[in-house]
Amino acid sequence: MTTLTGAAAGGGDGGGDRIQLRGLRVVGAHGVLPEEKARAQPFEIDLDLAVDLALAAGSDRLADTVDYGEVATLAAGVVAGRSFDLLESLAGAVAEATLASDLRITAVTVDLRKLRPPLALDLGTVGVRITRRR
């Protein structure tokens, strides 16, 4: 009998194994308008990390998987750090930093939402979703 690892079962990038981080809220100063640069506002991030989880599933050791606490801290630092005009650029920076943080992450999807968009409309959030692969 053959046992597929997470990557062989589709964990590399199209399906399969994932580490999910949901609802990370961070304050940052991003946007095109001057008031968005001057006053920090809340953002929310969801991350899906494509990672082969077979080894960690069998060993129950943190060393055999990606530490999602470290990834969350890294993503929060990107949002709280340098100012970006566009959500697309900010999400791209989060994705790049996430992929660079651990070679076991083969792909990342970043959902990034601005929780208080500066529009004169009743709009709950505005956001982007990007996926980047190695």
Strongest mean pLDDT among 3-12, 27-36, 95-104: 95-104
* Spatial distance between the Cα atoms of 77 and 53, rounded to a whole number of angstroms: 26
Average pLDDT, whole number, for the chain?
90
Q: Where does 10-133 sit in CATH, by number?
A: 3.30.1130.10
Sheet holding 41-50, edge to edge: 18-28, 41-50, 107-114, 126-133
CA atoms in the 13 A half-sphere facing the CB of 41? 21
Note the pLDDT of residue 15: 61
Q: What are phi and psi for residue 66, nearest 5 degrees?
A: -85, 130
114: annotated active-site residue: yes
Q: Is the pTM of this model over 0.95?
A: no
Mean pLDDT of 55-77: 98
Q: How do the domains of the chain map onto residue ranges?
A: 10-133
- The active-site residue out of 39, 109, 114, 117 is 114
What Å distances lie between residue 38 and 10, 41, 115, CA to CA? Answer: 44, 10, 16
